[in-house]
């Protein structure tokens, strides 16, 4: 019982001050150790691990930047190829239309000269006309060539 009374009779302000004094002293000791560690360039295992992680991250960032640049170059190259293919396709369509127009004119002239059209010639003419239209040609075929050829009599040789 005497010990219990002694606990309750303690001066708690002294105990609290002692705890704060102990905490303050601990903080100061840690600061002193850190100061001398920095001045002496002493590295702990934790410091070396942090440095290794930092170096690894820098290496990964350099690699990511290099990859980004390479992907950008490839993307630009693909866009260039796409533009070239689109232009080539347009030019090919123009050549196809011009070639088919020439062939349609030739068949029209041949049929007009003969004064009739045969079944195989008419089939060839209409198939060329469909391809001509699909390739983008439409100017003279519907207005002149097709009506004139269809108006000719059909004869088989």
pTM across the whole model: 0.52
Alpha-carbon gap, residue 120 to 144, rounded angstroms:
20
pLDDT score, position 139 = 74
pLDDT score, position 60 = 95
Whether residue 153 is predicted with pLDDT greater than 80 in this model: the reply is yes
Of 117, 101, 104, 103, the closest CA to residue 152 belongs to 117
CA geometry: angle at 24 spanning 22 and 26, to 5°?
70
Residue 7 — pLDDT band, cuts 50, 70, 90? low
Q: What is the mean pLDDT of residues 100-115?
A: 90
Alpha-carbon gap, residue 157 to 150, rounded angstroms:
17
Residue 8 — pLDDT band, cuts 50, 70, 90? low
CA geometry: angle at 119 spanning 113 and 120, to 5°?
90
Residue 44 — pLDDT band, cuts 50, 70, 90? confident
For helices 119-134 and 45-114, give the axis angle rounded to 10 degrees: 150
Ordered by start, the domain boundaries in the chain are 1-42
The answer to whether 148 touches 107, Cβ cutoff 8 Å, is no
Half-sphere exposure of 47 (CA within 13 A, CB side): 7
């Amino acid at each position: 019982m005497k010990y219990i009374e002694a606990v309750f009779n303690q001066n708690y302000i002294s105990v609290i001050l002692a705890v704060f004094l102990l905490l303050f002293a601990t903080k100061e000791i840690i600061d002193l150790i850190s100061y001398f560690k920095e001045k002496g360039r002493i590295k702990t295992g934790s410091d070396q691990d942090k440095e290794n992680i930092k170096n690894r991250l820098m290496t990964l960032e350099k690699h990511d930047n290099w990859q980004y640049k390479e992907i950008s170059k490839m993307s630009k190259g693909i866009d260039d190829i796409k533009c070239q293919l689109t232009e080539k396709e347009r030019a090919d369509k123009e050549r196809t239309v011009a070639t088919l127009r020439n062939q349609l004119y030739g068949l029209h002239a041949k049929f007009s000269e003969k004064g009739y059209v045969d079944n195989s010639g008419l089939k060839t003419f209409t198939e060329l006309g469909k391809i001509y239209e699909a390739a983008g040609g439409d100017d003279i075929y519907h207005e002149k060539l097709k009506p004139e050829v269809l108006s000719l009599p059909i004869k088989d040789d």
